[in-house]
Structure 1
Amino acid sequence: MTIVGLDIGGANLKAATAAGEAVTVPFPLWQQPGQLAGALGSLLAQLPAADFLAVTMTGELADCYPNRAEGVRHILKVVEQVAAGRPAAVWQTAGEFVSVETACEFPELTSAANWHALATWAGRIVPAGYGLLLDIGSTTADCILLHDGSPEPRGLTDFERLQTGELVYTGVRRTPVFGVAGEVPLRTGRVPLAPELFATMRDVWLLEGQLAEDAADSDTADGRSATIPAAEARLRRAFCAMEQELSSADLHKAAAFLAAEQQGQLHRAVTRVVEAAGRPFSMESAEVADSQAEGSAALNSLIGQVLISGSGSFLAARIAETHPLLAQAETLRLDSLAGPAIATAACAYALAQLAAERC
């Protein structure tokens, strides 16, 4: 039986088999909810014919839906349409697969459950003691504590996880540069970034040499190619500057600063998550002190393994290499173990693996 995991996001659709085949395609769900069925059908056509669909989602947050519950119901209605009679199961943050009907009945458990599926599968790398899942994607990052073979999150909903540091709304492609820093030090002093979608972190990481150029890819802020010259033009526009005002060298320095700022955001999230190990979530205890965490000798040896996944694995690896709380941990990169396609579609792959075991 061929099981295909489906991770239906607001900007990307991902599918994978337990055998290690994976596909990721961009799809702006917030603009084209009526075209979701066709997009899923095309996605599935790129893999061996599925006998069973294992499903998770984050696309219900898209603002084409009046609320997340309506988003869950619409997405699952489309899944049933695409399944065309084939069985399908949906992962929930309760840690189990349920029917489509049950998933619609309890949207609060169905919504944004993809990270939980990945963390549940990743838990097997830490059968005893503590580990950390660090998944950095195009739009968001997940930092999840693993303990004795299972995920140990403090928050379950996106709202809770934003407060605990387990969800950081930053990614290596779609995040606008002004979402990483309000201003950047340049030759003339600190210059504010225009709060407009002129450039994204994809442009930054292109200039940093961490993302490959692709002249045929126009999934960028201005719809032009994902090349270094076009990335420079977009980043220059974010400063409202002309070519004679900001040189290529200036822009590369700005990119280095923005890259470091994004790394710093995620560094702080790791600190918060590790420092809070074993503590239950509450509104009062969501914030923790970074200095307290990094000053603890016990915490410096708490994490035994770090599993890295996502299209931003290169950034996760930087954090694993430089964070004092991860200095003694073994780092496992999913892109090295299973290939970049699986690392990018890690949640879909984890779903397929879990479904093969449980369904």
Structure 2
Amino acid sequence: MAILGLDIGGANIKAADGSGHAISRPFAIWQVPERLPDELTQVFQSFPHTDRIALTMTAELADCFVTKSEGVRFILEAVESSLNRLDLARNTATSGNPTDGADRIFVWTTDGHFVGPRLARDYVRKVSAANWHALATWCGDLIPAGSGLLVDIGTTTTDIIPLVAGKPVPVGLTDIGRLQSGELSYSGVWRTPLCSVAHSVPFREGYCTLAAELFATTLDIHLLLGLIPEDAHDLGTADGRPATKAAAYDRLARMLCCDRHEISYDEVLHIAKFLADVQRHRLSGALERVALRLPSKCENVIVAGSGNFLAFQMVYENRHTSSARIVSLAEQTSPEIASAACAHAVAQLATRPEMVAPAST
């Protein structure tokens, strides 16, 4: 039976079949939530033999929904609708009988198992933003003994999850609890506004306050520093212009209310380096907090996400993790799977009967 793992976020939809095929699609759900079923239908077309869906989500937090409960219901209905479309097309082609998509959807919870859509609607706090827990549960197999950490830095957030004997042992299970514990930081390598990284930056003989506007994001500093490759076709930037160094120069200059005629490229590059250092030091503080709570020396660290270059640097610099064995998820699997790691994780977990058995109702 073909299982498709789905991770539906606020800015991206990620899917993986658990056997090596994985995709990531940008989709800003807060802008056009009504398009979610169509987006999912396109995703399913890349996995035409799907029989079951293993689902996790973070998009319920998007501000197009008044409450998380509303968001969870909306997402579940969109998945059910899209799966039914796939079934209808497949059954029409084979003269088969359509089935109810809801019967084949399983939603990951922070209890460590799946539930069906009906229970998921009731367990809002347990299914909301549970993708990190699925990834940590699956990654635990890579370090089955001792104490370790999962450091997953993505486009928007950073997860630092303690692992003991191959099991996640977080202090927080909800977003607010994880923010308070340092296990979740709303800082990533792409979408984080630069005005949230630092209030001011060194400029010429002093410091300059940054504009409190979405003129530029962390993508721009990492582009300028050569840590994220340029992509002239990617327009998912603060100003809708390409993800190139030239456009990043303009965006970062605008953070100082300047343009390229008022501030040199070298000056912007210096500011980018300063902001990258600030972001790393702030995230390193969270790493320190979580590492200090481990019951024994940190022996292993799993590094994941599109910001793995930043995670590696943090781990090497931290006194608690510098001597640990580092496992790169991208090297253990593939860059495609690593970028859709939570989707891959739920697809893998859904093959384990003990994690699905209590969740069929």
**When the two structures are superposed, what TM-score results if normalisation uses the length of structure 1?**
0.92
- Which residue of structure 1 aligns with residue 163 of structure 2? 146
CA offsets per residue over residues 3-39 of structure 1, 9 Å max, x none? 1100000001000111011100110000111000011
- Which residue of structure 1 aligns with residue 145 of structure 2? 128
Matched, 1:228 2:224: no
Question: Which has the larger displacement, 81-90 or 305-314?
Answer: 81-90
- Which residue of structure 2 aligns with residue 81 of structure 1? 81
Find the aligned partners of 1:128 and 1:320 in 2 and give their Cα distance: 19
- Which residue of structure 1 aligns with residue 186 of structure 2? 169
- Which residue of structure 2 aligns with residue 354 of structure 1? 349
Find the aligned partners of 1:44 and 1:320 in 2 and give their Cα distance: 37
2:351 aligned counterpart, secondary structure: helix
Q: What is the CA distance between 1:187 and its match in structure 2?
A: 1.2
Alignment of 1:170-189 (within 5 A): 170-189=187-206
Amino acid across the alignment from 1:122: C
Amino acid across the alignment from 2:53: L
CA offsets per residue over residues 136-194 of structure 1, 9 Å max, x none? 00000100000011000000000000010000000000001111111111213111110
C-alpha contact (below 8 Å) 1:176/1:199 kept by paired residues: yes
1:35 aligned counterpart, secondary structure: helix
Matched, 1:275 2:275: no
- Which residue of structure 2 aligns with residue 33 of structure 1? 33
Amino acid across the alignment from 2:175: D
Amino acid across the alignment from 2:352: E
From 74, 86, 90, the equivalent of 2:107 is 90
Matched, 1:263 2:263: no
Matched, 1:7 2:24: no
From 88, 113, 126, the equivalent of 2:130 is 113
Q: What is the CA distance between 1:48 and its match in structure 2?
A: 4.7
Find the aligned partners of 2:247 and 2:214 in 1 and give their Cα distance: 15
- Which residue of structure 1 aligns with residue 322 of structure 2? 327
From 311, 327, 332, the equivalent of 1:337 is 332
Find the aligned partners of 1:103 and 1:272 in 2 and give their Cα distance: 32
1:219 aligned counterpart, secondary structure: coil
- Give 5+ residue unaligned stretches, structure 1: 279-298
2:108 aligned counterpart, secondary structure: strand
1:229 aligned counterpart, secondary structure: helix
Q: How many residue pairs align between the two structures? A: 337
- Which residue of structure 1 aligns with residue 257 of structure 2? 240
Q: What is the CA distance between 1:277 and its match in structure 2?
A: 2.8
CA offsets per residue over residues 296-342 of structure 1, 9 Å max, x none? xxx6xx11111111111111111112111101210011111212111
- Which residue of structure 2 aligns with residue 291 of structure 1? none
Find the aligned partners of 2:172 and 2:143 in 1 and give their Cα distance: 20
CA offsets per residue over residues 111-143 of structure 1, 9 Å max, x none? 110000001111112222101000000000100
C-alpha contact (below 8 Å) 1:123/1:149 kept by paired residues: yes
From 222, 236, 246, the equivalent of 1:219 is 236
Question: Which has the larger displacement, 139-148 or 82-91?
Answer: 82-91
Find the aligned partners of 2:282 and 2:45 in 1 and give their Cα distance: 38
- Give 5+ residue unaligned stretches, structure 2: 85-99, 357-361
Find the aligned partners of 2:204 and 2:285 in 1 and give their Cα distance: 28
Find the aligned partners of 2:156 and 2:335 in 1 and give their Cα distance: 17
Find the aligned partners of 1:340 and 1:317 in 2 and give their Cα distance: 15
Find the aligned partners of 2:318 and 2:46 in 1 and give their Cα distance: 39
Percent same amino acid among aligned pairs?
A: 47
- Which residue of structure 1 aligns with residue 309 of structure 2? 314
Question: Which has the larger displacement, 195-204 or 235-244?
Answer: 235-244
Find the aligned partners of 2:326 and 2:153 in 1 and give their Cα distance: 15
Matched, 1:203 2:242: no
2:49 aligned counterpart, secondary structure: coil
**When the two structures are superposed, what TM-score results if normalisation uses the length of structure 2?**
0.91
Q: CA RMSD in A?
A: 1.1
Q: What is the CA distance between 1:49 and its match in structure 2?
A: 2.4
2:271 aligned counterpart, secondary structure: helix
Q: What is the CA distance between 1:245 and its match in structure 2?
A: 2.3
